[in-house]
Amino acid sequence: MKHTITKKTLSMLVALSLSASFLTAGCGLASNKPASKTETKPAVSTQEQQTKKAEASMSAARNTPIVQAAKKVGPAVVGITNKALVRDYFNRTQLVEQGSGSGVIYSKDGLIATNNHVVAGAQEIVVSLPDGKTYNGKVLGTDPNTDLAVVKIDADEELPVAEFGDSDSLMVGEPAIAIGNPLGMEFRGSVTAGVISALNRSLDMGERRFRLIQTDAAINPGNSGGALVNADGQVIGINSAKIAASGVEGIGFAIPINEAKPILKELAEKGRVVRPYLGVSLLDQTLAQRLGFDLDLRGGLFVVKMFQDGPAYRGGIRPNDIIVKFNGAKVDSVAALRDALGKCQVGQQVPVTILRGDEEVNKIVTLTEIPQQNSQQ
């Protein structure tokens, strides 16, 4: 028996279909209203808003001195990109990036402390703030002897400034926080933490000797010029170097801020540091043995060479003399004499005791300013 669809049945099906369509459309319209309200809501919170929200909900256990120090000093730690002119394969001159490091803003007028080796040889300096803004920087002065430099930027905004602490009050074992840009700007604002491992470490680099703070807070390439900070959020050192050797970990160094402050001031004002010199080449017992010389220096320094018209020459010191005292203190190494000389001023008259043959002779040497690009004693 065949089933046929009557007109009545067909009409009912059409009516049901229209009703279902209307109801479905009504649900769609109803659901669109809340959607339009969602679109008018404010945009997703900015990073700053998210940070403030996180700080508000942070427990006391999480809000450690390290967190507070990073929050206080981090905005004043900048990236420094060193660009220099090089020639390409076709002998064309190009300005290329030759390295990057870190710096610390320490003055509202845009003065930045960094390392000399970060800006050495630069034709152009680019300073990158933590918020991503960049400014062209000007090198006001450099000091290879302490590996310090001052860069200035002219910013169109109020700059965050780091607070300098007192590096003379440091205690071995207290927290140390390093802030900088390891391995370039990709990792800018990195924070590592450790302790003050030792104080007054002497590190010889070439002809220069540095007195540094030792820390196990990670200091990597790119951290140079960044801040070493105490638990109070004060800068107590300018990160400078690390020992990179197989099997050696956790040995980094920073220039004590108390030693850096007068140098930074002089660099900002004069562009260089005025230092006295003697004008002699010296040999101590350790170096003599290393070179294979069998000499009895009687606890002093052998004068190998004089620099014509230098302070020592004018003071009556001659080659083959042995310097045993400088400014009243015994000197048995070149490093000891360099340290004693560093405490003197240009124009100061200094007593120097020498051995000439078997005779002890006292001389008075008037110290003068070290000539530019001169690394003599």
Active site residues: 117, 147, 224
Q: How far apart are CA 215 and CA 201, in angstroms?
A: 10
Are 277 and 311 spatial neighbours (Cβ–Cβ below 8 Å)? yes
Please name the residues in contact with 146: beta carbons below 8 A apart, sequence gap of 6 or more.
116, 210, 255, 259, 260, 263, 273
Neighbours of 327 (CB within 10 A): 18
Nearest Cα residue to 84 out of 29, 33, 122: 122
Q: How far apart are CA 246 and CA 227, in angstroms?
A: 26
Q: How far apart are CA 276 and CA 338, in angstroms?
A: 10
Q: How far apart are CA 24 and CA 195, in angstroms?
A: 68
Are 137 and 122 spatial neighbours (Cβ–Cβ below 8 Å)? no
Q: How far apart are CA 231 and CA 175, in angstroms?
A: 6
Are 253 and 167 spatial neighbours (Cβ–Cβ below 8 Å)? no
Please give the sequence-ordered ranges of beta strands (E in DSSP) within the chain, or none if there are none. Answer: 77-87, 93-105, 111-114, 124-128, 134-143, 148-152, 175-180, 190-205, 208-215, 227-229, 235-242, 252-256, 276-277, 280-283, 301-306, 322-326, 329-330, 349-356, 359-366, 368-369
Neighbours of 100 (CB within 10 A): 23
Are 129 and 105 spatial neighbours (Cβ–Cβ below 8 Å)? no
